[in-house]
Structure formats: structure tokens, C-alpha cells
A and B are shown apart, each in its own frame.
Chain A
Amino acid sequence: MTRHTKTKASEASLEIRAGATIHEHNLRNGLRVLLAERHGDPVVKVILYYGVGSRSESDQEAGMSHFLEHMMFKGSSKYAKGEVDQLTTMLGGQNNAFTGNDHTAYWMRFASDRWETALEIEADRMTGLTLDPDEFNSERDVVLEELSMGEDDPWSVLAKRVEATLFGRHPYGRPIIGYRESLLAMEPADMHAFHKRFYNPGNATLVIGGDIDPKRAMKSVRKHFAKIEAQPKEQSEDAFKLPMPTPGTGETRLRLHWDDPGRRLIMAWPSEPVGTDADYDLDVINGLLSNGRGSRLIKRLVENEGLATSISTSNDARVQAGIFWLFAECAQGVPPEILEAAIDEELERLRVEMPTAAEVKRVHNMIGAQESASGESIGDVAEEIGSMAIDATWRLAFDGGAGHRKVTRKRVTQTAARLLTQERRVVAWSLPTEKEGI
């Protein structure tokens, strides 16, 4: 039974993000609505974020969030299987979805005169998912093929091993897609319960970005979502919470083999949650190390010394913790230990020597420029605002580089010395099958 609720028009303040005016509303049933109004292109993107991902799953539920994302296109009370795609396409729109560690999102993109259909669809599948058993079984085969695809990718295989080592039994240690065994054991009834637990207004953030009239947009949001019943808060909580494992007191090393000549290296360190000071510091460190050809690692190891064919780092900040990643492909003829030693030198330099003011300024400028580039597409703006809203706060998104400009040279060194140590890291190599490298 649904209960009609009045909406609370709590439009707090208007802020500009990437040229879009942000209007925030909260419906009484808990649904948060963010409108990002920008009229440059006749386009609207609608994204509905749910605060559910692999982090929300028990061991038995491993892969459920992602599998459920697939099933959301397989029929709900008003839309038979395939009709969401049919309708979206008929209106000249596009749709898709993605699942992460902390959230799952569904997006639709339309010309600006017809986007409101997205709301009707999303409201319906929030409450009336069908989960037909035949469709469930058929889609499970598709997910298993997707899993096989990942198992044929050496980087994906290596990264999964690293995450498992870093996070142990914590859900961050499991692959988002789950395991063959967990997927095969799932039943529609389990998924129904999971959907009911997490797919409700209080656990969702709706973002509508683009060429919209905010008043009309909110009228339409209320029409479709206000009648959905609120869930008691505790039902939306993660069912399965483990404390983060304490990083070990020594380096962990892994080695895999793959039947090609590639020598692939991953180094990874446990890091801190999204929106923390350390998250900003690691963004700047990421820029110093591998953003652009002028960055330290690329300039030295790829461009000048030719020790690696590629190298990159990434600050993967999540809700409860994060990972700072380093990926490198060793050049042929270069012993892996030589590449590793050169990387270690650069990391040590980062831990003990403050970067120059010019280096930090370069990174600040590049972060600002990247924001401009991302801001070209209102779809990307809406996506970033939504993911920040569901994981932390949307005000962190497109802040004009303000958060990163607070990161000083000293903070960079301190954070590197605290988090990016040899003792805290996992080092994983994938080496040619016939070769024993290190």
C-alpha cells in the first residue's frame, strides 16, 4: 500500500556548479531531489542513485546489487520486460545503469522536450519490480558471461586479488559482480527482499540536469514520487557491516601468471573515505605522480627512461575507506625489479621531500581545467553531483577547485608519509606464464 505524503519544499539555497544552477529539494518520504538547471544544449539527463552497492551485501549476497541492476530492465508493474528500452528509444532517448561499491545508478538522457517519462519509469521500478523467475535465470546467464569476460582480462583478475588482500572479509574485498557460486545460489525471493530493503525514497537521490524548468520539474517529481511510502530508516541501512581491516605491518606481495608477454604491476594502499582531507591530498598526489606527460612517474619512467610502457595512479575514495592504486606495465627487456625500484624512489621522494610550489600549482590548474572539461556535458555534471550526494555531499562536486587548493605542499608530504608507505601496501605482479621474474 502506498501512502500519499505532502512534500516539504525545502529549497535551501541556489549554488552554481559547472554553469548549472543547483536546486535542492527533499520530499517527505526521504527522496532527495537535485535539479541542475542549465540551458546551453537542448538535453536533459535524469539519474536516480540508490545508496546500495557491493558494500551492502552479505557473503551470500555477493553480486546481488549488480545482478539486480540488470533485472531492473526486465519488467515492473507498469512496464513489461523490454518496455523501458522500447519507450526510451521511441522517444529518442538513451538509458543505462551502473553499479559500484557504494551506489547503484540508473540514467536516462533525452532531448529536453520529453524527459519526464524517465520519472514515471523510475518511480514504477522503485516500487513494482516484477522479477519473473524465467527472466531471472536468463539474465543470470548474461551476468555469468560478463563475469567470464572479466576473467579473460589480466588487469581485472589482478585487481580483484589485490582488493581481496587489502580488505579481507570486508565487502570492499569482493568483486562487484560477485562470484560464480554466489550468483548461482541466488533466488528471485532473495532479490525481492534486497530490492525492498534498499530501493526506497529514503535511500535515493534523484538528479535532473540540463534544459529544464525547475518548477515544472518539481511538479513532475512530486506527481510520480511523492506517493511512494517512506521506509523506516533502519531498513535502508546496510545489512552487513564489518569494521575495516587494520592494514598489516608489512608489505604483501602477490604473483599471478598470464599467457602473454605482458608484465603488469599493481601497487595498492588502503586509504581514507571520500570527502576527507586525505582524499583531497591523494587527488593532488595522483596529479603529481601521473596526471599528464609532465607528471613525475610518466615523465621519468615512460617518457625519459623507458622503464614502463604505461603507468597511472588513481585515487579510489569510497564511503568507508578507499584505495590508492598504481598500475604499470613494464617495458620489454627491463627487469621488473628495476621498474619497481624506480617507482619506490619516486614514492620515497614524495614522502620525504615537499613538492615544489610550481608542481603543486600545476596540479591545481590541471584539476581546474579537468573540471571545465567535465562540465562540457550536463550528463557528466549530473552524474558527479549525484555520486557525491549519495556518497558524501553534492557540494564537493564542481567546487571550482576550492577543496584542492587547500592542499599545501606540506600536506602532500605528510599524507604520502602516512598512507603511501611500503609497510601498508600490496604489490601484485602478473608475469608471463613461462617466466619467473621476481
Chain B
Amino acid sequence: MASVRLKTGQVPTPELDQVVFDLSCGAKLLVSPRPGAPMTALQVHIRGGHSLDAPDLGGVAWMAGRMVDQGTKLHTADEIVDELEPLGGGINGDSTGLSGTIVSKHWKKLCMRATEMLTMPSYPKDRFELQRGRVLDRLSIERDDPRSQAMHGFRELIYGDHWLGRPHYGTLESMSRIERKHIAAYHKKNWVASRAVIGICGDVDPEAVKRLFNRALADWKAGRDLGTVEEDYPAMKRRVAAYQAKRQQVHLFLGHLGVKIQDPDYPALVVMDHILGTGPGFTNRISRRLRDKEGLAYSVNANIHSSAGNMRGVFSAYIGTSPEHTSAALTGFMEEMKRIQDEVVPTPELDVARNYLIGSFALGFERAGSRAGYLIRQYRFGLDSDHLKTLPGRFSAVSAKDVQRAAQRHLFPDDAVLSSGGPIAKKALLVAMGAKAKP
């Protein structure tokens, strides 16, 4: 098949106009009007999240967000449900804020209930106990789930004691210690206007949205802005953890610390990821080798860019495979990581990745929720206002040398950690890993 280069100007790009407002309470409001859109989506991001949890009370931030839809000082949970659900509406919260959608003509109702949740959740005691009981049930089941345990182990190996290594919904032990007063205090102190950015997309008039939020959030406390968050991670080094369980498959996570989204190599790393482990179908090397050629797995991938944010993400290579394939899978991961560092990517392979990234740009913006989510990301990560328009050009400019350079700077196969869950012991894992560590 001949190699073809798509030019960025040839590609349809999504229109995502937005109007930015500073609300009187101190929050930022981003509105992207889309006349005729059937659904309107709202997202509110509150800086801080589970970075603010005390280590022994992990899950407080998550519970504070999770519980905001359980009633406010003006409406009970049942009243909110009875009002919004028949309109196709609903609001969910987590440690980072809340989000919701509704049939467009009812957008004001969605926004009004969201403003109540932001400023005056009631956290009814009986609802708190039920919710915490449900989470504890989930955590106790998760404790016996090899994939979940392997994933948690992976993050702990990479981030150590840093809060990024802890699950945002806490652990069985920390969740057992959380009381209603903890989440109420957390909300009061941390869900404040100066840390909030609100994104809304749908069939709305930006001025009307601004008026509504200015009115409804007039008394929202600005609070204290957050300073920079500490970034103190363990040194990269080979570490191994195994969670043993009787299952058909073993889940393997191999990787190390990743990058921030602002890293100048980010566009090159996105292209590298598509060549190495995320390109669709069998266009990436790891799927082509481990799934297509060797038939080792149904589910396999590798990626560094998708977890990048204002903090360093991770490089993660994952496979779910039969235990007898562990060694072959690890060999595949390590050799492909090294190959992309040692060899310049051939032009046709580079073109496939670049063309995909440029040409698929229009595909991710059909839903109001995706658009609202993009508004928030753009603001949080400090992306330029013309980011959507310029990114295809940046992908197009990535050369084979750029990919190799980025791989050499940001992949560390010999210092990767390995976490497993399934029918394999740590000793066997160490053997498989150690044998492959030396070229």
C-alpha cells in the first residue's frame, strides 16, 4: 500500500466556539453554544480532588463529590430525581467536581440544581451511611479482583506514597474511618469558587447562562486558591508486585512515570503511542506482535500520553493473557520499547499514525458531554484558545527523528515496574522479568 500524507487543511475540523466569563463569585465560566443540539451538558471542575485527602482518610474527596446529588438544603434527593430524570437529566459527582446532561430546552433546571450541589449539599446522614456501605461492599469485592489489584499495585510501585498512588475512592480501611462530618467539612473548605471552572455546551445563550450562574452563585465563597501541588515521586527503578489468584488469565501492567501534558515532546509522544501501542486495530506494533502474530491476548495496549495532565502520568503497557504466555508477553513489551528507541520509524508507519491523528480529529466531538469536557481540559491544562485548530498541524510536523528522540527521553524499559494479578507468583514473575531485563 502506497504511503500517503494527509494535509491538515484537507481535514474537516470541529467547530467549538466558546465564550469565557469571570463570574462575580470568582469561578470561571466557559460556554460553547450549539444551536439545535438535542442535549446540553455541564461539567464543573474543582481543583484539589483527592490530593487533599489525608492518607488515613483516603476517599473523603470522592465521597464528598459522590454524595452531592443526595440532597441540598433546598431539595431532597427524591425531588431532584423526580424533576430531572423525566427530562433525560441527571447529575453525578466525584472527587474532581460534577457533571450532568439534560434535554436542551431544560438546561436551566440542570444548572440550578448543580449550583445548589456546589454550594449547599445537605449530606443526609442516612444516605451517607447507605452510600458508604455500598462503597465498602465494592471495595471488599475489588480486594479479590486480580485485575483491580494489579492496577492498584502498579500505581503504588510507580508513585510510592504520593497521593497519585492511592485510589481516589480510598481503601477498605480508609473508607471505614470516614464519617459524614469529614465530607461535610471537606466540601465546605474545598468546593469554593476560586478553584472552580464551569463548562457548558448545548443549545444555550451564553449571556443567559452567565446571568443564571451569577445570580445563583452570588453567595458562593471564593475560598483560598490552591498553591502548587507537591511532586515527589520515588526514583524509577525495577520493582515487582504480584497479586495471586486462581483465574484463567494473568493481568500484567508494565511501566513507569510518564510526562505532563505541557511537555514539549507531547505531540511526538502521541504519535509514538500510536505506533507503539494505541493505534487502532493492528496498526500498532504491540498489538500486531502480541495479539495478531503471536495470538497471546485479546486485550493488549501501551500508552504514555492519555494519563498526562498537570501532574506526571504513567507509561503503561497492559496485557491480559494465559499465565504460560507471561514471559513471551514481557519479552514483546520490552523489545518493542527498545526497538522504538533504537530504530528510526519507517516513513509509511509514521504516516499511518500522523494521518490517523489528523484525520480522526473531527470524530470526538459529536456529544455535548465531550465538548463540555474539552472546554474544561483546555482551561485546566492551559491550552491555547486555538489549540483544536493547531494540534493537527503539530502532529503533522512530528518527524521520525522526533519520535525516536521522544522514545529515548521518556521510555525506560530497564527501569520499568511490573505488577501482576492472577495465577502467577512473584518469584515466577521476577524470573520472567529479570531474564528479559538484560539485553
Interface residues of A (CB under 8 A from B): 19, 40-43, 73, 81-95, 109-114, 137-143, 145-146, 148-149, 151-152, 259-262, 291-294, 299, 302-303, 306, 309-310, 329, 331-332, 361-362, 365-366, 368-370, 372-373, 375-379
Given contacts A90-B4, A152-B249, contact A369 B144 (CB under 8 A): no
* A379 shortest CB reach to chain B, Å: 7
Please, which residue of chain A has its CB at the minimum distance from the CB of B288? A82
Please, which residue of chain B has its CB at the minimum distance from the CB of A364? B86
Contact call A369/B88, Cβ cutoff below 8 A: yes
Contact call B88/A370, Cβ cutoff below 8 A: yes
Contact call B39/A331, Cβ cutoff below 8 A: no
Inter-chain CA distance A148–B250, complex, in Å, is: 10
Can you report 27 residue pairs joining A to B where beta carbons are below 8 Å apart?
Answer: A42-B362, A43-B366, A83-B1, A86-B1, A89-B352, A92-B356, A93-B363, A94-B363, A111-B361, A113-B12, A141-B295, A142-B297, A148-B249, A152-B248, A259-B246, A261-B141, A291-B85, A294-B85, A302-B134, A303-B77, A365-B87, A369-B86, A369-B87, A370-B88, A372-B103, A373-B39, A373-B88
Contact call A261/B140, Cβ cutoff below 8 A: yes
* A331 shortest CB reach to chain B, Å: 6
Contacts of B137 in A (CB 8 A): 261, 309, 329, 331-332
B59 at the interface (CB under 8 A from A): no
Contacts of A40 in B (CB 8 A): 36
7 closest A-B pairs (Cβ-Cβ)? A92-B359, A369-B88, A141-B295, A85-B281, A42-B12, A260-B144, A148-B248
Contacts of A90 in B (CB 8 A): 1, 4, 351-352, 355-356, 359
Contact call B134/A331, Cβ cutoff below 8 A: yes
Contacts of B322 in A (CB 8 A): 145, 148
Task: Select which of A73, A309, A332 is within 8 A of B281 by beta carbon.
Answer: A73
Given contacts A145-B249, A292-B90, A372-B88, contact A111 B136 (CB under 8 A): no
Given contacts A293-B81, A377-B367, contact A145 B358 (CB under 8 A): no
Contact call B138/A373, Cβ cutoff below 8 A: no
Contacts of A299 in B (CB 8 A): 78
Additional A-B contacts beyond A85-B281, A376-B366 (14; CB < 8 A): A88-B281, A89-B283, A90-B4, A90-B355, A94-B363, A95-B281, A113-B12, A145-B296, A149-B249, A152-B249, A302-B134, A309-B134, A361-B86, A366-B86
Task: Select which of B37, B140, B359 is within 8 A of A93 by beta carbon.
Answer: B359
Contact call A41/B295, Cβ cutoff below 8 A: no
Interface residues of B (CB under 8 A from A): 1, 4, 6, 10-14, 36-39, 77-78, 81-82, 85-90, 101, 103, 127, 130, 133-134, 136-138, 140-141, 143-146, 245-249, 279-283, 288, 291-299, 320-322, 351-353, 355-363, 365-368
Given contacts A142-B291, A145-B249, A294-B78, contact A92 B298 (CB under 8 A): no
Given contacts A93-B359, A138-B295, contact A376 B87 (CB under 8 A): no
Inter-chain CA distance A361–B281, complex, in Å, is: 44
Please, which residue of chain A has its CB at the minimum distance from the CB of B5? A90
Contact call B282/A85, Cβ cutoff below 8 A: yes
Contact call A259/B86, Cβ cutoff below 8 A: no
Please, which residue of chain B has its CB at the minimum distance from the CB of A151? B248
Contact call A89/B355, Cβ cutoff below 8 A: yes
* A127 shortest CB reach to chain B, Å: 20
Please, which residue of chain A has its CB at the minimum distance from the CB of B366? A377
Please, which residue of chain A has its CB at the minimum distance from the CB of B69? A293
Contacts of A111 in B (CB 8 A): 11-12, 359-363
Inter-chain CA distance A372–B355, complex, in Å, is: 33
* B32 shortest CB reach to chain A, Å: 14
Contact call A86/B86, Cβ cutoff below 8 A: no
* B33 shortest CB reach to chain A, Å: 14
Inter-chain CA distance A94–B360, complex, in Å, is: 8
Contact call B86/A149, Cβ cutoff below 8 A: no
Contacts of B4 in A (CB 8 A): 90
Inter-chain CA distance A300–B359, complex, in Å, is: 48
Contact call B362/A43, Cβ cutoff below 8 A: yes
Contacts of A260 in B (CB 8 A): 140-141, 143-145
Inter-chain CA distance A376–B299, complex, in Å, is: 29
Inter-chain CA distance A291–B77, complex, in Å, is: 16
Contact call B85/A293, Cβ cutoff below 8 A: yes
Contact call A94/B134, Cβ cutoff below 8 A: no
Task: Select which of A41, A86, A138, A302 is within 8 A of B14 by beta carbon.
Answer: A41
Contacts of A81 in B (CB 8 A): 292
Contact call A88/B280, Cβ cutoff below 8 A: yes
Contact call A294/B81, Cβ cutoff below 8 A: yes
Given contacts A362-B85, A377-B366, contact A91 B140 (CB under 8 A): no
Inter-chain CA distance A410–B279, complex, in Å, is: 53
Please, which residue of chain A has its CB at the minimum distance from the CB of B299? A149
Please, which residue of chain A has its CB at the minimum distance from the CB of B246? A259
Inter-chain CA distance A82–B292, complex, in Å, is: 9
Contacts of A329 in B (CB 8 A): 137
Inter-chain CA distance A310–B14, complex, in Å, is: 38
Given contacts A89-B283, A92-B361, contact A373 B38 (CB under 8 A): yes
Task: Select which of B39, B246, B356 is within 8 A of A376 by beta carbon.
Answer: B39
Task: Select which of B144, B294, B367 is within 8 A of A138 by beta carbon.
Answer: B294
Contacts of B10 in A (CB 8 A): 113
Contacts of B363 in A (CB 8 A): 43, 92-94, 109, 111
Task: Select which of B247, B279, B282, B366 is within 8 A of A378 by beta carbon.
Answer: B366
* A19 shortest CB reach to chain B, Å: 8
